[in-house]
A and B are shown apart, each in its own frame.
Chain A
């Protein structure tokens, strides 16, 4: 492999990491609160608001039902508005984040719903406010599973970010398509695949270890 190709792979890896990290952080900032809201506003929960819950649920479902490659193209005007451009790594972060928020929100919703309601009632019986219940009961109790959720999200984002190449997003996926597929450079194709596998393995290992360390059950 030429030095040029190696440099290309390094840039691609960094691009992939950049897209994944930015969109993961954004998705956590917005997706975890959305997941919490989906739980606490559901029927019989601490901040019951069925109308809001239905609307949010519908929006989440709508976003999740659009295939990523189509979502990416469909929101190009929005992407241009936010990132100033619709091409490149930064631009790719916008659709990645948009897809990641509802995905993570649903996972977090399930994790929090798994908490035994008795624990919430115990907190209520001690005079906890809804906000205290969210901060001191729901999030800490669900933390190990939320770490698992984020791990799944990162793995998904690594794979989604490969699709960003299709609209000039850069990253490993872009390299694999342009060099490996269109120029028949099998060695580049294999190299990108190996790098992706290593990335996913690392993320999964770290995520599993962290979740396990946090889990006191």
Chain B
């Protein structure tokens, strides 16, 4: 649906800024694709290249089979009608009511009043603003304003919806409801959604695939579950740790007297990771029963990422060192991931 090929964006000025460096991305039809990065990473420039609000310095932007960078101004305006966009600060027209804001893109296309009404009525219903259609934006809450933004973007029946930090100005509860609305629209209307954010929970909540951007470069890209469970880059790991923590706090580690070597009187400290089906494995019970180990759980958590269950456990395998070694070998045979963090003072 969207192909970005060798996109570069350079801002010439007193200091030359390379905002995007040879970006290649593909967004498939009907998916929700997330781009995450810190401020200044280039994500905003990138999403604005998709509808050519920013023209890339070089590269092609192919949306729905058309290379937007080759179009004339008027052809580009036509092409933009297939690409809806919503914004962090909503960007509604303060002089128009909710209804007239949603009608705006259709007015631009020259539709008649009755055609506009026919189109808008069901959309206002989808976003739940039918009762507020005669209000002005100043009379609405942030979440309602974003719903108007979404309705306005949907009015011209776009194939793609671009979300520029759409939930960053909203409180957590409202964010949740807006994300749910986006997901609904994606599922019911088959709309392809590209969103940028600096919040990992937004990605976890609704994105099928994610790309991590830093310094104008895509660091890594993959399905949300894959990136969450097997992040390669440190930046990605930092983002993930903001929503899914699987590290013990430093104070706890200090208290445990962590060693690199398995010396006498210590027991292995192990991190276990379960994904999907493997969460059903009775690992802890197995270790206790088969190897006579006292398994102390220091940390545990289960998350659902895109309907896939991801579990994490940090345990100490207390007991006879030989049994503990056998326990470690046993874990390796299971369809779960494990990592020996170190060795800590044994409890027995």
Residues of A within 8 A of B (CB): 116, 118-119, 121-129, 132, 136-137, 140-141, 143, 214, 216-217
Q: Are A136 and B78 touching (Cβ within 8 A)?
A: no
Partner of B91, one of A118, A140, A216: A118
New contact pairs (10) apart from A116-B91, A140-B95, CB-CB < 8 Å: A126-B84, A126-B156, A127-B81, A127-B108, A129-B74, A129-B77, A140-B96, A143-B95, A216-B95, A216-B136
Return chain B residues, CB-CB under 8 Å to A122.
Answer: 85, 87, 91-92, 152
| Chain B contact residues, majority secondary structure | mixed
8 A–B pairs (Cβ distance < 8 Å), ordered by A? A118-B87, A121-B53, A122-B87, A126-B84, A129-B77, A137-B93, A140-B93, A141-B95
- Bound: A214/B95 CA distance, A: 8
Q: Are B87 and A132 touching (Cβ within 8 A)?
A: no
Tell me if B125 counts as interface (CB < 8 A to partner A): no
Tell me if B241 counts as interface (CB < 8 A to partner A): no
Return chain A residues, CB-CB under 8 Å to B229.
Answer: none
Partner of B80, one of A126, A140, A216: A126
Write out, one digit per residue, whether chain B residues 146-171 have a CB within 8 A of any chain A CB (1) or not (0): 00000010001000001000000000
Return chain A residues, CB-CB under 8 Å to B87.
Answer: 118, 121-122
Partner of A118, one of B80, B83, B89, B108: B89
Return chain B residues, CB-CB under 8 Å to A118.
Answer: 87, 89, 91
Least CB distance from B90 to A in Å reads 8
Q: Are B138 and A119 touching (Cβ within 8 A)?
A: no
Least CB distance from A3 to B in Å reads 50
Return chain A residues, CB-CB under 8 Å to B137.
Answer: 216
- Please report the total number of B residues contacting A with Cβ < 8 Å: 30
**A125-B53 contact, Cβ under 8 Å, with A118-B89, A119-B91, A136-B108:** yes
- Bound: A140/B80 CA distance, A: 23
Partner of B89, one of A116, A127, A129, A141: A116
Q: In chain B between 127 and 156, which residues have their CB closer than 8 angstroms to a CB of chain A?
A: 136-138, 152, 156
- Bound: A80/B69 CA distance, A: 55
Return chain A residues, CB-CB under 8 Å to B84.
Answer: 125-126
Return chain B residues, CB-CB under 8 Å to A124.
Answer: 53, 80
Q: Are A125 and B94 touching (Cβ within 8 A)?
A: no
- Bound: A73/B53 CA distance, A: 50
Least CB distance from B96 to A in Å reads 7
Tell me if B236 counts as interface (CB < 8 A to partner A): no
| CB-CB nearest in chain B for A129 | B77
Tell me if B51 counts as interface (CB < 8 A to partner A): yes
Return chain A residues, CB-CB under 8 Å to B77.
Answer: 127-129
Q: Are B138 and A125 touching (Cβ within 8 A)?
A: no
Interface centre among A119, A122, A126, A140 (most CB of B within 10 A): A126
- Bound: A127/B81 CA distance, A: 6
Return chain B residues, CB-CB under 8 Å to A140.
Answer: 93, 95-96
Tell me if B107 counts as interface (CB < 8 A to partner A): yes
- Bound: A118/B85 CA distance, A: 12
Q: Are A216 and B85 touching (Cβ within 8 A)?
A: no
Tell me if B291 counts as interface (CB < 8 A to partner A): no
Q: Are B104 and A217 touching (Cβ within 8 A)?
A: no
Least CB distance from B37 to A in Å reads 20
- Bound: A191/B152 CA distance, A: 57
| CB-CB nearest in chain A for B86 | A122
- Bound: A29/B180 CA distance, A: 49
| Pairs of residues from A and B, 8 with the lowest C-beta to C-beta distance, nearest first | A122-B91, A126-B105, A118-B91, A127-B80, A127-B77, A216-B136, A125-B85, A140-B95
Least CB distance from A112 to B in Å reads 13
**A125-B51 contact, Cβ under 8 Å, with A140-B95, A143-B95, A216-B95:** yes
Return chain A residues, CB-CB under 8 Å to B89.
Answer: 116, 118
| CB-CB nearest in chain A for B149 | A122
Q: Are B80 and A136 touching (Cβ within 8 A)?
A: no
